[in-house]
Amino acid sequence: MTKVWFITGSSRGLGRSLTEAVLAAGDKVAATARNPETLNDLTKKYPGQIFPIKLDVTVRDEVYAAVATAVAHFGKIDVLINNAGFGIIGAAESFTDEQVRSQLETNLYAPIEVTRAVLPYMRKQRSGRILQISSIGGRVGNAGISIYQAAKFGLSGFSEALAKEVAPLGIRVTCVEPGGFRTDWAGASMTYAPRVEGYETTVGKREALFTSGKFVPVGDPEKAAKVMVDLANDPEPPVHLVLGSEAIGMLKNADEARNAEMEKWMPVSLSTDHDEAEDFLNTDAGKFYLNRKD
């Protein structure tokens, strides 16, 4: 059965690769972009399959209008891809107020709002797939990208909670967490905060790598796009999907470090229980509380 996709940031990078893969697979796409004319070549190649929509994801009214327009045109939305976003490098104290706001508005508030706009339609049809394009930076923190990662950690948490909330409605949510891919994320679309003294060996090293032209990501965006097309048809999709060997290595190392830290500080963690806690935890209700996964 032909699916209808709603993809934000479809004109470049991973969004472009995904839009092309979806069209090639025979599905239809409501392709949003700030400049939809950049999709003219795809409109000519896939007439009737692609419906370009002008959208600035940070403008709430445009978000709801774009979703309603897509539904009016295609009749439904089966798959939502929240892809629009960009990165920024700098020390946490050096970002301008505008840079902080723009990161949170584009990389966190926007995907939340687009999701909220689409959910009523998916709820009524009792089906749907939502893929949030996050980052391994939403699972592992690194110097120099604190504000970007604040947004991505937030998106990861939102997606994990949402997945539990909408599962009974037939809606599945996956937070896609790529490592470095060969798009312009670390190139033309990357922005930088003003430099401040003292961060040369942390933030400075990351900035130097990205501006040197020597950073060559291992991820292939076309392969990632194929994975996501397949994922939209998987009956049991994961809540988190890490993409790329680099990202897998980073996550494994981070998990080991977190677990070691948790074990080291376990006595302190447990020392904060109320004196009556042990009696409660030995009851059936307490055991359920300890083992809950919701």
Residue 158 to residue 130: CA distance in whole angstroms:
12
- Compute the residue count for the chain: 294
- Note if 134 is an active site residue: yes
Scored b (16 or more CB within 10 A) or e, 277-289 reads eeeeeeeeeeeee
Residues 121 and 77: beta-carbon distance below 8 Å: yes
- Note if 152 is an active site residue: yes
Residues 57 and 83: beta-carbon distance below 8 Å: no
Phi, psi angle pair for 265, to nearest 5°: -100, 10
Catalytic residue among 3, 10, 28, 152: 152
Tokens standing for residue 142: 């690194």
Catalytic residue among 17, 134, 135, 146: 134
Residues 54 and 34: beta-carbon distance below 8 Å: yes
Q: Is 267 exposed, middle or buried (0-12, 13-18, 19+ CB in 10 A)?
A: exposed
Residue 115 to residue 135: CA distance in whole angstroms:
18
Reported in sequence order, the residue ranges of the chain that DSSP labels E, i.e. its strands, are 4-7, 28-33, 50-54, 79-82, 88-89, 128-133, 171-178, 191-192, 240-243
Pairing type for strands 88-89 and 128-133 reads: unpaired
Catalytic residue among 109, 121, 148, 199: 148
Give CA angle at 109 (106, 114), nearest 5°.
95
Q: Catalytic residue positions? A: 134, 148, 152
